[in-house]
Amino acid sequence: MTVLAIDFETANERRDSACAVGLAWIADGTVVRRESRLIRPPELRFSPGNIRVHGIVPADVRHLPVFPDVMAEFLPDLASGLVLAHNAGFDMGVLRASLAAYGMPVPAFSYLCTLQIARRVFPAEEGCGLGKVAARLGIRFEHHDAGEDAYACAEIALAAARAVAAPHIHGLSKALRLPITTIPAGPANALPPAPGSIADRARRFAGGGSGAVRKTTADLRFSMRGSSGNRYAVTLENRASGLHLRCTCMAGRYGTRCRHVTSLLLGDITDLLSDNHDDVEVLRQRLKMTDLAAGRTVVG
């Protein structure tokens, strides 16, 4: 059976926003293959906190393949093998949520969590986070790079197997009495947005009717950071000619679609200064119902 470690990085708080994946295959007691890919998430909405962790920004993935295309070559090994992940609940959640978001069949996955392994084999008062365990074991890697994290995860599992004299990773599970977890297969249907999530708010806003988010056009205002650090205001206006995004930067004043407006239309919040990240997706859904989304309305 194939044994491989996996690690995902996400663009924002949603589990279906994978922007990078790393994998490391184990055979004969060593890492024999490593792969790393960047992924274009369903929306280019990158939370500042996530960017601070992994350093990936929308420009890095804007023209890259989406999740199904990136993962196609790896899914057979994942579905038929034993998957390792550090804090596996997160990574397996990203995997399943991303498959479901694209309407792909979700196969059953069998996995072991190296965080749980480390707590049993390499306990320490400072904790068993990936970086801390790797440092104690002398594993050198670049933390929060998906490929590097998957490699460190695999090496931790191998070190644990050696520490308990287990002949292989399956033997490690038996030696620690840590059962392999299998999560069931799921249908090839996209999961509905979680109640109260950004996507759910945007969907209800766009759909109107009972329970719709009552956000008027005048409420959609954003503060954006310019290239020199200046602060500019972007406002959605309801003019006689239709919806209009107005920016106070120099390009916006001359009626040109500026980079601040373009960023919001793409869901890119890298330079968003105002604390209304949710409204970016609400804006995008609102504009999908107008000619603005197709580029037929002048945006300044």
Q: What is the CATH number of the domain that holds 7?
A: 3.30.420.10
Indicate whether 154 and 211 sit together in one domain.
Answer: no
* Residues 219 and 143 occupy one common structural domain: no
188 found inside a domain: no
Nearest residue to 43 (alpha-carbon basis) of 68, 91, 11: 11
Backbone phi, psi, residue 46, to 5°: -105, 120
Indicate whether 40 and 90 sit together in one domain.
yes
Cα gap 56→59, rounded to integer Å = 8
- The tens-digit pLDDT sequence of the chain (300 residues) is 899 999 999 999 999 999 999 999 999 999 999 999 999 999 888 888 899 899 999 989 989 999 999 999 999 999 999 999 999 999 999 999 999 899 998 889 999 999 999 999 999 999 999 999 999 999 999 999 999 999 999 999 999 999 999 999 999 999 999 999 998 887 765 455 544 444 454 445 444 444 444 455 557 899 999 988 899 999 998 888 778 889 999 999 988 889 999 888 877 777 888 878 778 777 877 776 665 444 444 344
Together in a domain, 148 and 288: no
Same domain, 285 and 178: no
Token pair, residue 18, equals 């994978």
What pTM does this model have?
A: 0.70
Please give the torsion angle defined by the CA atoms of residues 90, 91, 96 and 100, in that order, rounded to the nearest 10 degrees. Answer: 90
Among 150, 183, 216, residue at a domain's last position: 183
Residue 123, phi then psi, degrees to nearest 5: -65, 150
| Domain extent at residue 271 | 198-294
Among the three residues 125, 152, 183, which one is the final residue of a domain in this structure? 183
Q: Are 245 and 264 in contact (CB under 8 A)?
A: yes
Q: Which of 157, 183, 209 is the last residue of a domain?
A: 183
Q: Are residues 253 and 108 in the same domain?
A: no
Q: Is 179 in the same domain as 51? A: yes
- Domain-located, residue 247: yes
